[in-house]
Amino acid sequence: MATVNDPGRRAGEDGSGGPAAATDLHAFAVALRRMNGEINRLVHAFAGDHGLHATDVQALAAILDADAPMTPKRLREHLGLTSGAVTACVDRLERAGHVRRVRESADRRVVHLYYAADARAAARTYFRPLAEATDAARARFTGDELGVVLRFLAAMNEELGASADRAR
């Protein structure tokens, strides 16, 4: 797949002169960057309209997707921020009504972060175009194909997470 920054590369070539398979790394990189750019566009618009930073929206997603109550420490580790930056982020999110802090009853020092119900509704409305695009794209594939796509995305997240852990 040719790009402006890769003028010598012809579409359909893998760099060895032979035809590129549908699994060409360059094609994956371009598609993933484009999807990331589109999602970032939505995230930045949501953040701007709600007086938040893009990192705040990442924090909201982490809180929403957590399989157990999120703590500020886990959020700090997930986002790779300092404790002060996470405190400022959570303060902004709480002031904006997106999250609430709840002290653990057994140990009052433990704070859990929860996505506020009203904020969830606002996010659903704002990110509806992403949900609709996902649904429309899903309709173009069989269940078996979607299973492969989900396995690929899970593997990508696993690899990226391991890469981030190695970098720390």
pLDDT tens digits for 102-112? 997 788 788 99
What's the pLDDT band for 77 if we cut at 50, 70, 90?
very high
pLDDT at residue 161 in the model: 84
Angle between helix axes 117-126 and 128-138 (nearest 10 degrees) is: 60
Tell me the C-alpha distance between 66 and 83, whole Å.
19
For residue 98, the number of C-alpha atoms closer than 13 Å in the C-beta half-sphere is: 24
Over 90: is that where the pLDDT of 125 sits?
A: no
Q: Is the pLDDT confidence value at 158 over 60?
A: yes
State which amino acid sits at residue 118: D
Once rounded to an integer, what is the mean pLDDT over residues 49-65?
Answer: 92
Tokens read off for 5: 């920054």
Please tell me the distance from the alpha carbon of residue 89 to that of residue 52, in angstroms, as a whole number.
9
